[in-house]
Chain A
Amino acid sequence: SQTIHQWPATLVQPVGSPLSLECTVEGTSNPNLYWYRQAAGRGLQLLFYSVGIGQISSEVPQNLSASRPQDRQFILSSKKLLLSDSGFYLCACPMKVGTEAFFGQGTRLTVV
């Protein structure tokens, strides 16, 4: 079964600082990978998805970018954080060959 590792678990960053969140997946190969964000009191918003190394699609225009340098590694980045980037960031992959998402433990980001 898959295991998704995300780190750090919590992060407090000042406005204008850079960001790098990492997600690695075990127990599967060539998975589809997703980054979601959950703002306080709101649902999950899909930010990026990747079907393979170097393949990134963005769902919404924003201050963030994503990269997939290795098959089981997915990175979320920003050059300059905004207050509106605060939220709970979740990496996910399908549990099987389907649409259901299996989530990592998430990173709670607070931009101050």
Chain B
Amino acid sequence: QKEVEQNSGPLSVPEGAIASLNCTYSDRGSQSFFWYRQYSGKSPELIMFIYSNGDKEDGRFTAQLNKASQYVSLLIRDSQPSDSATYLCAVGFSGGYNKLIFGAGTRLAVHP
């Protein structure tokens, strides 16, 4: 059973702080890792993806991957109230078709 685990939160951070979101996964064969942001009542939107160990930066977002520890994280610098949403971690498994397994998401609340 392939699993993706996230802390459900809520994670509360003050405006301007760094928000750190974490995710672990069970399948060592996983090759691709994604972070989605989902506002209440809306569909998820892709914000970051990472395939290789290490860090990947895009604006205020940094994704970190450690395949040995089966751990992926998302850092949001200079958090804004508009970043308040649920963040879903997704792990890609190959095997004849492209399949994503999603975690249950971490709710982030950025307060002024």
Contact = CB atoms under 8 A, between A and B. Distances in A.
B43 A106 contact: yes
A101 B104 contact: no
Contact of B97 (A32, A44, A45): A32
A99 B43 contact: no
B43 A104 contact: yes
Contacts of B101: 46
Interface in A27-65: 32, 36, 41-46, 49, 51, 57
Given A90-B43, A103-B43, A98 B104 contact: no
A67 to B, nearest CB: 17
Centre residue among B42, B92, B99, B103 by max chain A CB count within 10 A: B99
A interface bracket (residues with beta carbon within 8 Å of B): 20 to 34
Tell me whether chain A's interface is mostly helix, strand or loop, or mixed. strand
B88 A100 contact: no
B25 interface: no
A100 B94 contact: no
A95 B44 CA distance: 13
B43 A98 contact: no
Contact of B46 (A36, A41, A57, A102): A102
Interface of A: 32, 36, 41-46, 49, 51, 57, 90, 94-95, 98-106, 108
Given A101-B44, A101-B46, A103-B43, 16 more contacts: A43-B4, A44-B44, A44-B102, A46-B101, A57-B97, A90-B44, A94-B98, A98-B32, A99-B93, A99-B98, A100-B34, A101-B34, A101-B90, A101-B100, A103-B45, A106-B42
7 contacts: A36-B102, A90-B44, A95-B46, A99-B34, A100-B46, A103-B45, A106-B42
Interface of B: 4, 32, 34, 41-46, 49, 88, 90, 92-94, 97-105
